[in-house]
Amino acid sequence: METLAPIAIFMFVLFLLLGSGVWVGLALMGVAYVGMELFTSRPAGDAMITTIWTASSSWSLTALPLFIWMGEILYRTRLSEDMFKGLSPWMAGLPGGLIHTNIVGCTVFAAVSGSSAATLTTVGKMSIPELRRRNYPEKMVIGTLAGAATLGLMIPPSLTLIVYGVTINESITKLFIAGILPGITLAAMFMAYVAIASRLSSDFAPTPEPPMSLWRKLENSRFLIPLILLITLVIGSMYLGFATATEAAAFGVVGALLLATAQGSLSGTVFVDSLLGATRTSAMIALILAGAAFLSLSMGFTGLPRALAEFIGGLELSRFELLMALLVFYIILGCFLDGISSVVLTMAVVEPMIRQAGIDIIWFGIFIVVVVEMAQITPPIGFNLFVLQGMTHHEMGFIARAAIPMFLIMVVMVFVLIAFPELATWLPENMRQRPGG
């Protein structure tokens, strides 16, 4: 009962600040500052300065701005146009036709982006007009794009996994590698849904694609070669132990600059815009992480995380019951906070619980990313829904309803992960890794 007062005060101040429009990072610092002043004797200002500097100067965070910059560079190239040219000849013959370009395109771009929003915008700006022109059902076009774009949070390089790894002090390289098989599995589940839904739907009658010879298909595939080489460089260098996550990010930036130059897309304006875009996003995430680190310190002084972990332990929940409780908790939280904020805000409390329950930290990282992906397409704060609204000019309700099947598939993916944990743990356990990765 003695922990109820700190919980109530923390929650009251947090929702007061968030509700008044204060940035998430500053809101977390504000809550932590109040907690330090009320519940500890340590000078709050001194603790804040020390904690923020320590959180912001983490070497693991170096990968974050580099991967963001790589995605910003590629976003400003002709990548989406080239991807559609390269993928569409192979997708046209599948059940569901060119709808699959949404899913495969998002999966491919996710492997060089790390951002759900960047993946959605890059693939959507080319696929939406093309699929509309061919009379594909609008709901399926929008729904698959909303769901598949969330793969940017799981398939390496994932910004959410970087934040998770820094927050709990786990190897980012291992987390990246852990996301590969679950990401591919989730993409395959999306494609299976499209194949089945297209056969069952009465209004699925797109304009047929003209026949294309095998040689012409192979010729069009040349547009995918630079991107595949970049993916191989970034992910392959980490898996084979040639590079840490930070070094792979640096390779990725150089590769993206070379790709943009080869395409003729790299001008002075594009270079500066990509750098400024990466700086803005990196600064936002770094501020959230610094605020979360200070909040974790403040909550640690109150004994709140330990008390809550002991309380949950006293309930004697099984691992499955604990995971189901966390699933519901994060889905609800995702209705009001973006994914990165959800992760950093809760890890101080959740980490002791999962360690006490004997849940693998790497596996839980993938579990939490799948659940955070759901938050991207759940109203009222689902970020992908807002991006799609700006691109398609549909009402939010229409877009949210179109994304429901993809949300349900992600729920199924959670149970697949629980039933087959090796999906997330096998590759990290069998990879070669350099020290410090």
pLDDT score at 413: 94
- Please name the amino acid found at residue 107: T
Residue 1, pLDDT score: 46
pLDDT less than 70: residues of the chain: 1-7, 18, 60, 80, 114, 300, 303-314, 336-338, 380-381, 431-437
Q: Which two tokens stand for residue 437?
A: 């990765």
**237 within some domain:** yes
The sign one gets for the Cα dihedral 328, 330, 333, 337 is: negative
Measured CA to CA in angstroms, residue 88 lies from 103, 199, 423 at distances of: 12, 19, 29
In a domain, 353, yes or no: yes
Measured between alpha carbons, how far is 426 from 328 in angstroms, rounded to an integer?
27
Q: Global pTM? A: 0.79
Range of the domain at 259: 50-429
Q: Which among 414, 422, 398, 427 has a CA at the least distance from the CA of 189?
A: 414
Cα(437)–Cα(430) distance, rounded to whole angstroms? 15
CB atoms within 10 A of CB 275: 14
Rg (CA), the chain: 22
Domain assignment present for residue 260? The answer is yes
Closest Cα partner for 102 from 88, 118, 82, 112? 88
* H or E, element range at 140: helix 138-149
pLDDT of the residue at 193: 93
Return the DSSP state at 208: P
pLDDT at residue number 326? 86
**Per-residue pLDDT at 192:** 94
- What is the Cα–Cα distance from 266 to 283, expressed in whole angstroms? 24
CB atoms within 10 A of CB 244: 23
Q: How many domains does the chain have?
A: 1
Q: Indicate the helix (H) or strand (E) that contains 257.
A: helix 245-263
- The pLDDT value recorded for residue 436 is 46
Residue 377, domain member (yes or no): yes
pLDDT at 344: 76
Question: What is the distance between the alpha carbons of residues 143 and 194, in angstroms, rounded to a whole number?
Answer: 10
In a domain? residue 23: no
Residue 106 belongs to a domain: yes
Classify residue 154 as left (phi > 0), alpha (psi -120 to 50) or beta. alpha
User: What pLDDT is recorded for position 396?
Assistant: 79
- Whose CA is closest to 142, among 380, 411, 385? 385
Q: Which of 194, 89, 90, 94 is nearest to 140 (CA)?
A: 194
Does the residue 355 lie in any domain? yes
- Chain centroid to Cα 379, Å, comes to 17
Q: How far apart are CA 369 and CA 40, in angstroms?
A: 34
Residue 42 domain flag: no
